[in-house]
Amino acid sequence: MTADQHQPPGAAPGQVEIVGVRGIGEVRPGDDIAALLKDAGLRDGDILVVTSKIVSKAEGRIREAPDRAKAIEDETDRVVARRGDTVISQTRHGFVMAAAGVDASNTDPGTVLLLPEDPDASARRIRAGLAHRVGVIVSDTFGRPWRQGLTDVAIGAAGVTALADFRGAADTHGNPLSATVTALVDEVASAAELVKGKLDGVPVAIVRGLSHLVTEDDGPGVRPLVRPADEDMFRFGSRDVVFARRTIRAFGDRPVDPEAVRRAVAAGIAAPAPHHTTPWRFVLVESAATRMRLVDAMREAWIADLRGDGFTEESIAKRVRRGDVLRDAPYLVVPCLVMEGSHTYRDDRRNAAEREMFVVATGAGVENFLVQLAVEGLGSAWVSSTMFCRPVVREVLDLPQEWDPMGCVAIGHAAAPPRDRAPRDPRDFYVTR
C-alpha cells in the first residue's frame, strides 16, 4: 500500500474558510435544525459544525435539575476520576468527559442540558434535511488530561471522513509511521470553535475548503474514534481505581500476558510491612500441567477434610464446586507469607500478635496485586482455600517449608461484564470517637 492510499479522498486543501452562522436565535424543543439553516448559505462540499447544545435543546434533552449532581450520576456509565466537585465520567456513548456532558450553561435556571441520545443519529437527521451535499459534525467541549484548557471535539458525525490512517506509510525521511491516526473530525470541530466562541451566541459554523472529506454516505460517525476499553492505558482515575477490582468467576479464552502479572507483583510488594520486612512471595503458576496438578490435589484434600467432618456427598460436591474458578482460569498465582525479619518474644501473646502483623501485611500485598491486575485489564478471583491444605500446595509447587500459601488467585480476561456491586453505605462500617 502506498502513502497516497492513506490520504483522505481528493487533494489536500490549499485554503480553508470558516464562517460562523448568525441569527439562528434560541432553539426550542421540537425545532428542526436543518430548517433553521436553510438560509445559511451552504454549498456542496461544506462541512457544517453544530454545537451539541442546540441539538440537545431541539431534541428535548432538557432536564429540571435543582441537583446537577443527580443528573450527572444518571448520565454516568463509569466514574473515571473525582477531585472535589469535579467528576470525570464515561457516558454510555463511550465518551470520557467532565460531568458526563451535563451542562448548566446557556439554559434556563434550574435546568441542565444532557448530551443528545445518539449524536451520530442527530448528525444524520440534520444532514438528511439539508438541500446540499455536506458533511455534518456535532461538537462538544472536552478537557485534556495532560494540558490546560478546553477544546471542541466531534461527538457525532455524518457524511464526513472521521479518521485518516497513515500507519504503514512513510514520512518524508522514509521513516515508517506505526501509530499515526489523525482524528479529522476533531480537528474540524476545534477549528470551527474559533468562530463560534463560548459567549458569542454562534452555535453553528460552516467549514469550507475540505470537500475531499465529505462522503456520499453517512458513514460510521464518531464510533471509530472511541478507544476500546482494552486499549485504554489510562482507563481508571486514581481515586476510583480501587473500585475497579471485581471478583471474576468466568474467564474467556484470551491468554494472559505474563508481563502484566509481573507488573501486578511489583504493585503487591509496594504494600506496607512491619519492621521494614518483605513478607510477600508470589508463585506464578504458568504451566497448564502444574495448574491442573495443583487444583486436583487441593480438591482431593478438601474432599477428604469434608468427609471427615461428616458432610454429605451432595454438600461436598456443592462446596468443592466453588473451586471450579481455579480450574477454568488460564493463569494462577499463589501468594505466600514468609516470616523473615519477624521478632520472637518471651510470651505467646506477643508472638501471636507478631504473626498477625505479617498476615495483615500479606493481605495488603494481595490487595495491591488484585487492584493492579484490574488496572492491567485482567479479572481475578481470590480463593482462600489453599490455607486448608498448605502441605499439599507446598508439595505440588515444590515450595520451601517456611513459605505459607495464603490463597490462590485465578486470573484471566472476564467472559462477561461483572455484575453491579451490592450497595454499601460506608457509614455502616465506621464509628467516630
pLDDT digits (tens, 9 = 90+) for 150-163: 999 999 999 999 98
Query: Same domain, yes or no, for 206 and 315?
Result: no
Residues 279 and 349 in one domain: yes
Query: Could you tell me if 195 and 268 lie in one domain?
Result: no
- The mean pLDDT of the chain is 89
**Both 280 and 414 in a single domain?**
yes
Cβ atoms of 18 and 206 within 8 Å: the answer is: yes
Q: Is residue 236 part of a domain?
A: no
- What are the φ/ψ torsions at residue 217 (nearest 5 degrees)? -95, 170
Does one domain contain both 194 and 112? yes
Indicate the range of 34-43, 45-54, 82-91, 423-432 predicted with least confidence: 82-91
Q: Is residue 132 part of a domain?
A: yes
How far is the C-alpha of 102 from the C-alpha of 348, rounded, in Å? Answer: 60
pLDDT band with cut points at 50, 70 and 90 for residue 293: very high
Residues 26 and 74 in one domain: yes
**302: enclosing H helix or E strand:** helix 288-308
Higher pLDDT, 144 or 137: 137
> Considering its fold, how many domains does the chain have in total?
2
The enclosing domain of 393 has a CATH number of 3.40.109.10
Instruction: Tell whether 183 and 225 lie within a shared domain.
Output: yes
Range of the domain at 131: 3-231
Residue 348 lies in a domain: yes
Whether the Cβ atoms of residue 412 and residue 248 lie closer than 8 Å to each other: yes
**Residue 150 φ then ψ, to 5°:** -105, 160
Q: Match 463509569 to its residue by C-alpha cell.
A: 78
- As a whole number, mean pLDDT of residues 80-86 equals 82
Assess whether 297 and 163 both reside in one domain: no
Is the entire prediction scored with pTM above 0.75? Answer: no
Residue 238 lies in a domain: no
Regarding whether 104 and 173 lie in a shared domain, the answer is yes
User: Are residues 206 and 269 both part of a single domain?
Assistant: no
**288, amino acid identity:** A
The predicted pLDDT at position 412 comes to 96
